[in-house]
């Protein structure tokens, strides 16, 4: 009986002193009116440039490590890749006039990789206005497929139009078997998925 009285008393007090919040929030279960809407954060150009630079640098190192893993070192010896191109280190194409010892060290291979990837980054900057992670993906594509293939690709068109690139990137993982039938390389497909994931990261 005492509990019922106290409950009723509190109910009346609530109705008298805070009718709006009481009826709105308790009886009718309507949304509270005192909750402020979140303000949209507007970044300055300097802040945007800082974030883009930070994410570019972060993505750059991630790309270098990714290339090292999927290209392999081959013991530092020169080898012919799947396309029959003479290569050394982490995918460095040996150009006419270049001479290397029978074996190179991992550090020498990484130096070559960074030099080659820097060229791809400069090409990405020259041909697109991408920033941050997106610039890294464009550079990776150029590094892997060559600037010529990039310039004539629909992937480039999508990048320039700021449209989704997922489907276009997925097209670049096929080869023709001995019967001339297009076959998807699961190995290359995983590389394309890595590019897609990085390209779509929040800026």
Domain range annotation of the chain: 54-199
What is residue 28's predicted lDDT score, i.e. its pLDDT? 43
**Predicted confidence band at 42 (pLDDT cuts at 50, 70, 90)?**
confident
Average pLDDT rounded to a whole number, residues 30-40: 54
What is residue 202's predicted lDDT score, i.e. its pLDDT? 77
* C-alpha closest to that of 160 among 152, 100, 193, 49: 152
What is residue 39's predicted lDDT score, i.e. its pLDDT? 64
Q: What would the pLDDT profile of 139-184 be if each residue is shown by its tens digit? A: 999 999 999 999 999 999 999 999 999 999 999 999 888 898 999 9
Distance CA 191, CA 194 (A): 5
Q: What would the pLDDT profile of 61-71 be if each residue is shown by its tens digit? A: 999 999 999 99
What is residue 13's predicted lDDT score, i.e. its pLDDT? 45
Contact 78, 87 (CB under 8 A): yes
Q: Whole-model pTM?
A: 0.74
Tokens of 13: 């007090």
Tokens of 64: 């270098």
How far is Cα of residue 25 from the mean position of the Cα atoms in its chain? 44
**Predicted confidence band at 120 (pLDDT cuts at 50, 70, 90)?**
very high
What is residue 17's predicted lDDT score, i.e. its pLDDT? 44
What is residue 138's predicted lDDT score, i.e. its pLDDT? 98
Domain 54-199, what fold? Lysozyme (1.10.530)
Secondary structure class of 163 (helix, strand, coil): coil
What is residue 23's predicted lDDT score, i.e. its pLDDT? 43
Tokens of 29: 């279960």
Integer-rounded Cα radius of gyration of the chain? 29
* C-alpha closest to that of 33 among 47, 45, 23: 23
Contact 190, 173 (CB under 8 A): no
């Amino acid at each position: 009986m005492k509990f019922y009285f106290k409950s009723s008393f509190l109910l009346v007090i609530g109705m008298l002193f805070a009718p709006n919040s009481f009826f709105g929030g308790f009886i009718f279960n309507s949304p509270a009116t005192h909750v402020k809407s979140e303000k949209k954060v507007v970044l300055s150009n300097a802040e945007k440039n800082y974030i883009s630079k930070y994410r570019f640098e972060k993505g750059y190192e991630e790309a270098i490590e990714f290339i090292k893993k999927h290209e392999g070192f081959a013991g530092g010896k020169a080898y012919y890749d799947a396309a029959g191109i003479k290569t050394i280190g982490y995918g460095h194409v040996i150009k006419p006039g270049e001479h290397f010892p029978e074996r190179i060290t991992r550090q020498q291979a990484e130096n070559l990789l960074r030099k080659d990837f820097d060229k791809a980054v400069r090409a990405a900057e020259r041909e697109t206005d991408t920033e941050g992670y997106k610039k890294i993906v464009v550079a990776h594509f150029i590094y892997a497929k060559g600037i010529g293939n990039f310039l004539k690709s629909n992937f480039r068109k999508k990048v320039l139009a700021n449209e989704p690139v997922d489907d276009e990137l997925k097209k670049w993982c096929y080869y023709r078997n001995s019967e001339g039938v297009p076959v998807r390389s699961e190995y290359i497909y995983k590389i394309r998925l890595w590019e897609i994931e990085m390209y779509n990261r929040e800026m």
